[in-house]
Structure 1
Amino acid sequence: MTKKRPLILVTNDDGITAPGIRTLISIMNTIGDVLVVAPDSPQSAKGHAITISETLYCDKTSIDTDAPQEEYSCSGTPVDCVKMATHEILKRKPDLCVSGINHGSNAAINVIYSGTMSAAVEAGIEGIPAIGFSLLDYSMKADFSHCKEFILTIVNQVFENGLSKGVVLNVNIPKLQASQIKGIKVCRQANAHWEEEFDKRTSPMGREYYWLTGKFVNEDKGEDTDEWALANGYVSVVPTQFDLTAHHYIQELNTWNLNE
């Protein structure tokens, strides 16, 4: 008996034509039956935003005419794409959702802002095993060729072992040659942050406007973090949960006089 191929949902936040997602689609086609639902334009740093006050469009398309996947271009956010796929397009729940390959890092605090990871998180909320993949190269001409072996390894391990309820994987791949990457490390999220600044300018019409700028600051010296792994030539894998409860602080809060 032929083993049934898994159904894999592919999405991203850089847009359906971005090189990263086209690479991820081609890799997933070697594993299973692929459905693509991705934004029709870049949606980076949208976080877990959803469309509630505007019309949402989702049109069937065919970007790779000689490829087997079914594709839909959505006017909404990455989270909208997952919702549309699971509640409108698919007749059954996919066996896996993969998001990416993102152009740029989603390590450390970047996971909070990431549309790529929010799509994976939304799939996790729906009970779908999910992984977000990112390459530490922001260029639209980035070389994704060395990502394949690591993506295949991680995806196959997820199919073999499953993921715990409420957990998705945040995978970041360094911008190195394949021969320079030392392996895969399971990590924690580094305690790092952005120090934001605003570049204030004036338009030709005399109106002030701003560009968000800043620098990334990593004060975490631990050698078990995603930032350390990436800086030292490893692919980082962080198990990420969407339950934001600070469980360790519940007992402390219960000592407060909250009912007086």
Structure 2
Amino acid sequence: MLILLCNDDGIHAEGLHTLYESIKSLGRVVVVAPDQEQSASSHSITLHQPLRLKKHQQNFYSVTGTPADCITLGVHEVLKKKPDLVVSGINHGANLGYDVHYSGTVSAAMEGTIMGIKSLAFSSVFLEEKPRFKPAALFAKRLIKSLGRHELPEGVMLNVNIPNVAASQLKGPVICRLGMRHYGEVIVQKLDPRGRKYYWIGGDQKNFADIPGSDCNAVIEKKIAITPLSIQMTDFSFLEKMRNWKI
């Protein structure tokens, strides 16, 4: 099996290396990851400046771009063919609910899905506590092995969130819908030494919406949450209603 491994936390991230060590026995695993932090880069691609590809060691490459860039260069330049699987993660933090629209980790897997490659994204759900990546990496290996017995529909990837607890405390996995996360203040305003305003975007997480069957509810219960995500974003139920609009 040929696996292309990526993330959005960068080539040196602990979650990436822990996942590599866990799945390298499954076949040839090639890492193509951003050269620096690319969290919340979503599905952006680099069009207005050149990209540089650097080989660090055998099967490890970094790219001066986004996670989606990494998948593109990984497939077309490093591997020069489609891998059997694209794996993204392990993300340093959750990708629950609306997070998936902003996540570079999820978007790397989504880029693989667009290319017609079976793809998965893994995230470890932690805030301030010390991350435990090994239980997440062991589950990732288990799920990848199970894909040999199951087929993913065309255009569908799996988004996996693993609670940051000891392996003995993990429950599930459970198949979930996306939930909703609520955040605090989004804009932080400060002054530079010359008295000019500048801003940081990003609020603290406050809580989850209580939605039974959602990924957010699952991880609160220490359950591994698996959510199938589709690249087809059309709302078909509203599509039919909208055809009756008089515009």
Query: For the superposition of Structure 1 and Structure 2, which TM-score range results when normalised by the shorter chain?
Result: over 0.9
Give the C-alpha shift of residue 58 in structure 1.
0.7
Instruction: Select the residue among 29, 37, 42 that pairs with 1:42.
Output: 37
Residues 80 and 213 of structure 1: is their aligned pair in 2 closer, same or farther, counting only changes over 3 Å?
closer
Render the CA deviation track for 1:159-194: whole Å, top value 9, x for unaligned: 321211010000000011111112211100013444
1:77 maps to 66
Matched, 1:29 2:33: no
SS at match of 2:22: helix
Question: Which is worse superposed, 184-193 or 237-246?
Answer: 184-193
Render the CA deviation track for 1:178-223: whole Å, top value 9, x for unaligned: 1111221110001344454312111002211112242446564332
Distance 1:97 1:203 in 2: 42
Matches within 5 A, 1:25-174: 25-62=20-57, 70-137=59-126, 142-174=131-163
Question: Which is worse superposed, 130-139 or 43-52?
Answer: 130-139
Distance 1:44 1:135 in 2: 14
Distance 1:7 1:59 in 2: 20
Amino acid aligned to 1:100: G
1:255 maps to 244
Give the C-alpha shift of residue 242 in structure 1.
1.4
Amino acid aligned to 1:22: H
1:235 maps to 224
Matches within 5 A, 1:187-226: 187-216=176-205, 220-226=209-215
Question: Which is worse superposed, 190-199 or 173-182?
Answer: 190-199
1:3 maps to none
Give the C-alpha shift of residue 224 in structure 1.
0.5
Distance 2:86 2:17 in 1: 15
1:16 maps to 11
Percent pairwise identity: 40
SS at match of 2:69: helix
CA contact (8 A) 1:198 1:210 kept: yes
**Residue correspondences, number:** 247
TM-score by length of 1: 0.90
Distance 1:223 1:36 in 2: 36
Q: Which contiguous aligned blocks of 4+ residues in structure 1 show a shift greater than 4 angstroms? A: 138-141
TM-score by length of 2: 0.94
Render the CA deviation track for 1:59-113: whole Å, top value 9, x for unaligned: 1111xxxxxx511110000000000011222132100010000000001111110
Amino acid aligned to 2:14: P
Give the C-alpha shift of residue 140 in structure 1.
10
CA contact (8 A) 1:196 1:214 kept: yes
Distance 2:139 2:198 in 1: 42
Residues 212 and 71 of structure 1: is their aligned pair in 2 closer, same or farther, counting only changes over 3 Å?
same
RMSD across aligned positions (CA): 1.7
Amino acid aligned to 1:207: R
Distance 1:139 1:28 in 2: 27
Question: Which is worse superposed, 124-133 or 146-155?
Answer: 146-155
